[in-house]
A and B are shown apart, each in its own frame.
Chain A
Amino acid sequence: MELMNNVKIKSKNLNVYYGEKQALFDVNLDLNEKEVTALIGPSGCGKSTFIRCINRMNDVIDICKVSGNIEIDGVEINDKNLDVVSLRERVGMVFQKPNPFPKSIYDNISYGPKIHGKGETKSELDEIVENSLKKAALWEEVKDRLDEPGTGLSGGQQQRLCIARAISVNPEVILMDEPCSALDPIATAKIEELIDELKKTYTIVIVTHSMAQAVRVSQKTGFFHLGKLIEVGKTEKIFKNPDNKMTQDYITGRFG
């Protein structure tokens, strides 16, 4: 058996409710460090709900209640007293639809560092901006127009800008919720390449509806159905010979 990386994030008996409606049922899922984990499953099965637990974005939704445990590096994060601000500094997120702020490209990237008090001087900030954009493979395209609005970029560029924004505060984990669903194949390929590169430094969780993408970018795959984690394992195994009949049906496109 091949050696797996350390477990970075561990969920134990995670249950999530939107008001009366339960969206996740006893999810136990381990995510490994410096690895890409893909979450797949039919629409409405709770993938987004799960990753939003990892950076506590569900706090924003009034009716959402989370019970159970999520640990990052062995520290419980589903805890009232936990400082959400520093959690989100460690766990960045990229959304389905690119959502750059209506500010300049530069300000989009420097936003996070400024909030967390990183980059005291202008030159430090400049460096952070440059590094983040370079890591997001966007630097070459925008270096001459950093003061133009981020909303003026193409969809694929905007999404890389959002990735750069997530990277800018130097997180440990990056959550991506269908980051390519609004992009064309070329932009998608760029982002996938980028994910491959980023996994050397970051732990990445990606929600995707594309089986091919899951195979291409991830090492581990979890299959959700109706709020339950049906099966999880190495990506190769899940897609070659899954244990569960439902997984089999889903990846072969027989339902979903």
Chain B
Amino acid sequence: MNFVLIFLITIFSLSLFFYGRSKTKSIAIEKNIKLNALPKFYGYYLVLWCSIPSLVFLLIWSLFEPVIVKSIIIETAANQGAIFNDKNEANLIYEKIKAIHLGTYFGDIDNILRESALAYAKFINLFTNSKVVLIFAIVIVSVIYSLKKINKNNKARDDVEIILKGLLFVSSLIAILTTLGIIFSLLFESIKFFSVINIFDYLFGTNWSPQRAFVRDASSITAAEFEELKDAFGFIPLIAGTTFIAFIAMLVAVPIGLFSGIYMAEYASLKIRRISKPIIEILAGIPTVVYGFFAALTVGPFFRQIGENFGLTVSSESALAAGLIMGIMIIPYVSSLSDDVINSVPQSLRDGSYAIGATKSETIKKVVIPAALPGIIGSILLAVSRAIGETMIVVMAAGLAANLTINPLESTTTITTQIVMILVGDQEFDSPKTQSAFALGLTLFIATLILNYIAQRAVKKYREKYD
């Protein structure tokens, strides 16, 4: 139904565009007057007036309809004699009624349910009909209003500008508000977590074993349980594992990415650039899960095999394999960012260096790279923050045990892996274990935020220098 309505509104608005445009055009010609705006602006004006109020109404209606219908139906069911003790049971009954209405319920249907389903059908019908009627009313009113406003004095252009500005503003508002919402939910859950677990125990603890936190409800915690919990959430092994794997990744990505960026920017002919840039960018488009099973199924076992040949025990889930693959994943970021940065070093600096007799590699080494350095560092930091936030590869290839180790051949775990581990499967929302995921998320968020901030400042400073 909604789709049909939206479709109709769209079609109608579009036809109004042509109507408004041609009408104002003919008025202008007939009466030989100069309009306040181009005819097409009057067209836009009609379109916006016809579509926005009705669509906004439809949106709001669709948001509230289910809630209202539900409360009414539950109420009716209760009046019919249905018994439910809490919200969950009420919901269940409501779902049943809905299913009966749709004909997808195969259980026993007693009298109460049948009556309620009939009531449900009635309400839905009523709501749909009134929705359609109201929307038509709104469309008609707003179209009549806007048609009236189309005359030579109307500043259609300004109105269109204002409406468009409003639309754009609302979009950015939504973006900002959702971000804020996420941050606050992270924050609140983390605060709950830290009200149970001391923040210092968390930050400096060296043992991570959240599965010990079998406590179901944080509010009813006993002293003994608390002692048990106290050292179950030590963050150190996770941050160590994360940095360790990110470090291995950067060992791979920085040299290769940087050198390929230098090659692309300084040496590659136009033809080579045209072919190889897209190829490198394809690397950036591979879903990380693909890298992940490549790491877990190919590289991990491969290292293990090699290790065995040398008499080493290599865990098949090793920091080395995860870091290596993550490094490969990051190469295109480092490469294309540093390519951009190097490209934006002004040619005049290179010319100055060549003119004094420096060779190409001397120029690159002594002039271009130092000039681009802040930007390059910025791009490396951005890559690091990607590496830290990367989840899929480490979940698949780094292991789950929170070992505090610097042996790259052993398995380690990362912040992101642990978040995944905590949140898959059944959980109690109120247990410290679940809440610890939010604390980890918050920590990760702060860490990447700081990195990104520094990186962006570095890049910006660099850009200022040459603008």
Interchain nearest-CB distance for A240 vs B (Å): 34
Q: Is the interface of B mostly helix, strand, loop or mixed?
A: helix
Over the window 11-28 of chain A, the binary record of Cβ atoms lying under 8 Å from chain B Cβ atoms (1 yes, 0 no) is: 000000000000000000
In this assembly, does A204 line the interface, its C-beta being within 8 Å of a C-beta of chain B? no
Taking CB atoms, residues of chain A closer than 8 Å to B362 are: 115
Which residue of chain B is the closest to A96 with respect to CB atoms?
B348
Given A115-B357, A169-B356, A99-B351 contact (CB < 8 Å): yes
CA distance A123 to B308 in the complex (A): 58
Which residue of chain A is the closest to B358 with respect to CB atoms?
A115
CA distance A169 to B351 in the complex (A): 16
Taking CB atoms, residues of chain B closer than 8 Å to A89 are: 356-357
Over the window 95-133 of chain A, the binary record of Cβ atoms lying under 8 Å from chain B Cβ atoms (1 yes, 0 no) is: 101011111000000011001100000000000000000
Contact with B355, one of A62, A86, A92, A151 (Cβ below 8 angstroms): A92
Taking CB atoms, residues of chain A closer than 8 Å to B349 are: 99, 101-102
Taking CB atoms, residues of chain A closer than 8 Å to B269 are: 62
CA distance A111 to B363 in the complex (A): 10
Which residue of chain A is the closest to B345 with respect to CB atoms?
A102
CA distance A115 to B362 in the complex (A): 8
Q: Assess the B351–A60 pair: CB atoms within 8 A.
A: yes
Contact with A92, one of B346, B348, B356, B370 (Cβ below 8 angstroms): B356
Q: Assess the A169–B357 pair: CB atoms within 8 A.
A: yes
Interchain nearest-CB distance for B246 vs A (Å): 30
Q: Assess the A101–B371 pair: CB atoms within 8 A.
A: yes
In this assembly, does A57 line the interface, its C-beta being within 8 Å of a C-beta of chain B? yes
In this assembly, does B66 line the interface, its C-beta being within 8 Å of a C-beta of chain A? no
Over the window 217-240 of chain A, the binary record of Cβ atoms lying under 8 Å from chain B Cβ atoms (1 yes, 0 no) is: 000000000000000000000000
Interchain nearest-CB distance for B273 vs A (Å): 13
In this assembly, does B366 line the interface, its C-beta being within 8 Å of a C-beta of chain A? yes
Which residue of chain B is the closest to A55 with respect to CB atoms?
B355
Interface positions of B from 333 to 379, Cβ below 8 Å from A: 346, 348-359, 362, 366-367, 370-371
Q: Assess the A60–B371 pair: CB atoms within 8 A.
A: no
Contact with A111, one of B350, B351, B366 (Cβ below 8 angstroms): B366
Q: Give the number of chain A interface residues (Cβ < 8 Å).
A: 29
Q: Assess the B357–A116 pair: CB atoms within 8 A.
A: yes
Taking CB atoms, residues of chain B closer than 8 Å to A87 are: 357
In this assembly, does B465 line the interface, its C-beta being within 8 Å of a C-beta of chain A? yes
Q: Assess the A57–B348 pair: CB atoms within 8 A.
A: no
Interchain nearest-CB distance for A131 vs B (Å): 16
Contact with A101, one of B352, B354, B357, B359 (Cβ below 8 angstroms): B352
Q: Give the number of chain B interface residues (Cβ < 8 Å).
A: 20
CA distance A141 to B196 in the complex (A): 65
Given A95-B348, A99-B348, A85-B357 contact (CB < 8 Å): yes
CA distance A55 to B356 in the complex (A): 9
Interchain nearest-CB distance for A49 vs B (Å): 14
Taking CB atoms, residues of chain A closer than 8 Å to B371 are: 101-102
In this assembly, does A88 line the interface, its C-beta being within 8 Å of a C-beta of chain B? yes
CA distance A70 to B242 in the complex (A): 62
Given A95-B348, A102-B370, A151-B465, A111-B354 contact (CB < 8 Å): no
CA distance A112 to B356 in the complex (A): 6
CA distance A112 to B357 in the complex (A): 7
CA distance A85 to B358 in the complex (A): 7
Q: Assess the B348–A97 pair: CB atoms within 8 A.
A: yes
CA distance A89 to B465 in the complex (A): 29
Interface positions of A from 54 to 79, Cβ below 8 Å from B: 55, 57, 60, 62
Q: Assess the A86–B357 pair: CB atoms within 8 A.
A: yes
In this assembly, does A206 line the interface, its C-beta being within 8 Å of a C-beta of chain B? no
Q: Assess the A166–B351 pair: CB atoms within 8 A.
A: no
CA distance A110 to B359 in the complex (A): 16
Q: Assess the B367–A88 pair: CB atoms within 8 A.
A: no
Taking CB atoms, residues of chain A closer than 8 Å to B366 are: 111
Q: Assess the B356–A88 pair: CB atoms within 8 A.
A: yes
Interface positions of A from 160 to 174, Cβ below 8 Å from B: 162, 165-166, 168-169
Which residue of chain A is the closest to B372 with respect to CB atoms?
A102
A-B pairs with lowest CB-CB distance, top 8 = A88-B357, A93-B355, A99-B348, A112-B356, A99-B352, A89-B357, A85-B357, A102-B371
Q: Can you offer 26 A-B residue contacts whose CB atoms are under 8 A?
A: A55-B355, A57-B354, A60-B351, A60-B354, A86-B357, A88-B355, A88-B356, A88-B357, A92-B355, A95-B352, A99-B351, A101-B367, A101-B370, A102-B370, A102-B465, A111-B353, A111-B358, A111-B366, A112-B358, A116-B357, A151-B465, A162-B352, A165-B352, A166-B355, A168-B356, A169-B356
Q: Told that A88-B354, A165-B356 touch, could you supply 9 new A-B pairs with CB distance under 8 A?
A: A57-B351, A85-B359, A89-B356, A89-B357, A93-B356, A95-B355, A115-B362, A166-B355, A169-B357
